[in-house]
Amino acid sequence: MGRSSTDRKISLTAAALTAALTAVLILIYQLHFVDDDVQRTTECTGFSSNRLTIGTGADISTGSYRRELIEEWNRTREPDAQLVEIAAVTDEERAEMVSRFQSGACPFDVLILDVAWIPEFARNGYIVELPRRRKSDVGRPTGPAPPAVLSAPMTDPEDLPVWDSARFVPQAHETGMVDGRYYAVPFAADVPLLYHRKSIEIPRTMDQLRHYARGGRFIGQLHDYEGGSVTIMDLLLGEGVRITDARGNVVLRADGNGEKLRKVLHAWSDTENKALSDDAFGYVEETSREEFANGFEGRNGVRFDYMRQWPYAYHRLAMDPRMYARGFDPRDTDHTGRDLFENLDFDVALMPGAGARGVRGGYNLAVSSHTPDPERAYELIDFLTSERSQRELFACGGYSPVLTSVYDDYRYLRAEARSCEHLNPRGRSDDPPKVGVEMLQRVAARTHEALEQSVRRPTSSFYAAFSKVLRTCTRLVLTRRLSPARLDLGRFGNALRQVQRGKVPEGGIDSGDYCRKR
């Protein structure tokens, strides 16, 4: 007897075919739409005894600084490392990585993974559990080297965990854990912040944010992709709505969550006092950042007073002359870092709400199960997570640190807290304005505070499907294609539970049939 569509398992064959088709589509996308810098780095030539291959997504941070860090590794250590940028969007990056693991077409030694994908990659055997090991000489410097890579005290160097959890911000370290085992080392933390004009009220609640931003003056990332799912989760969390509990169980029917969900979606989709612009559902990270900046210049008659965005955008905006007070020229080289900071026309705050202030993002470093020599991969990860590397990634590239010590350096302006030009003058030639220590202190303090109040995304092997179902139903209401009253909480909740178990929801995952009352 045949199985019903609501009860059949996603077969490995179907998943492989889907992943392969996705990889083809992504390749076409890259050839036509991804910028030249990404196109030049997508070639994969397989394993080599003289090279470590790092698979990652496109770098949208300031100056693509992680590439400079890899080049520094290549100058001072061996073997050489090659950064392979796979796709410009995290969903596409994941799909192609999965496809390559399943087909064996393009192996990697090290992966830079969105923290949401760690459970899937660990449980499917794509990445290895990180072991306890003796520190070896593999990857040692071949020339003048920076300070010791492992900066944590070695109380027992003969039997030391590869990466001491005490060094890392706990919320970042947690994202590498799957089923009680450690699979991935934090590389760059991420948590949402509220960007705003300096001259306006800072909302403390989501109600206040909608009120202050009425007229469509709030912008976020609400396109149909993973970033859209996270933004929606942030908006819901800010009003106490929970989709899952700490164990990942769907709780739409518990504690009035379902009715609170309807109420919040109705408030954000309200056309009379709308806080979201008509174009809100087409923005991703870079387009929303650019539109926020355009509003300061008065371009296109658009003015956004508030923006939900990741910390990386602070650097990008601070280096944009449009983001300074009128009459102040930030390109004047006589200005001090304090002058620049005080004349910035925007600031950052925590996302509004009580309790959790947002959903944790970020990227972790993992070792491929296909690498022929994991010891070399471990040494590269040691280098990328050293205090020196983390300071440079933060000050020069805008990557949020993962080490507690680096946050403390900048929050308390210790001697180690320096701007990029003082950390690595050789590698930087950016025209002013530059990001000084006063700016770095502000964004470090806000990011650390937000991280402490953040929550982790559901840890499911089928998180991508879970995210898609969540995004499909909520966006139908937010875009006013489905009224809040017609949202079927029972069917919606069942669809979320089904995809968590690897099953296809009624009507197919893309249909949205499971969102509507019959």
Domain ranges of the chain: 12-190+361-403, 193-314+458-515
Biggest CA-to-CA distance, the chain: 79
CA dist., res. 494 & res. 252, Å (int): 10
Going by their DSSP bridges, the two strands 177-178 and 361-367 should be labelled as unpaired
Which pLDDT value is given to residue 47?
A: 59
In 36-187, which residue ranges form alpha helices assigned H by DSSP? 36-39, 65-76, 90-103, 118-123, 170-174
Is 59's pLDDT higher than 90? no
pLDDT one-digit tens code per residue, 271-303: 888 999 889 999 999 999 999 999 887 666 678
Which pLDDT value is given to residue 22?
A: 40
Do 12-190+361-403 and 193-314+458-515 show the same overall fold? yes
Which pLDDT value is given to residue 299?
A: 66
- Indicate the average pLDDT of the chain: 84
Average pLDDT score over residue span 47-63: 82
Q: Which residues, 6 or more positions from 12, have their beta carbon under 8 angstroms from its beta carbon?
A: none
- Residue-wise DSSP of 163-181: S-GGGB-HHHHHTTEETTE
Which pLDDT value is given to residue 295?
A: 86
CA dist., res. 79 & res. 359, Å (int): 37
Average pLDDT score over residue span 239-243: 94
What fold does the segment set 12-190+361-403 form as a domain? D-Maltodextrin-Binding Protein; domain 2 (3.40.190)
- Residue-wise DSSP of 469-494: HHHHHHHHHHTTSS-GGGB-HHHHHH
Is 127's pLDDT higher than 50? yes
**Do the Cβ atoms of 235 and 356 come closer than 8 Å?**
no
pLDDT one-digit tens code per residue, 438-449: 999 999 999 999
Which pLDDT value is given to residue 141?
A: 42
pLDDT one-digit tens code per residue, 198-234: 989 999 999 999 999 999 999 999 999 999 999 999 9
What are the angstrom distances between the C-alpha of 61 and each of 79, 167, 203, 224?
26, 24, 27, 22
Q: Return the minimum-mean-pLDDT range out of 231-235, 342-346, 350-354.
A: 350-354
What fold does the segment set 193-314+458-515 form as a domain? D-Maltodextrin-Binding Protein; domain 2 (3.40.190)
Q: Which two tokens stand for residue 202?
A: 């800072």
**Do the Cβ atoms of 8 and 498 come closer than 8 Å?**
no
Q: What is the pTM of this model?
A: 0.85
pLDDT one-digit tens code per residue, 135-157: 443 343 443 333 332 233 333 43
Q: Please measure the distance between the N-terminal and C-terminal CA atoms of the chain and give it in whole angstroms.
A: 27
- Percentage of the chain beyond pLDDT 70 is 82
The pLDDT confidence band at residue 495, using thresholds 50, 70 and 90, is: very high
Is 114's pLDDT higher than 80? yes
**Do the Cβ atoms of 237 and 455 come closer than 8 Å?**
yes
**Do the Cβ atoms of 361 and 114 come closer than 8 Å?**
yes
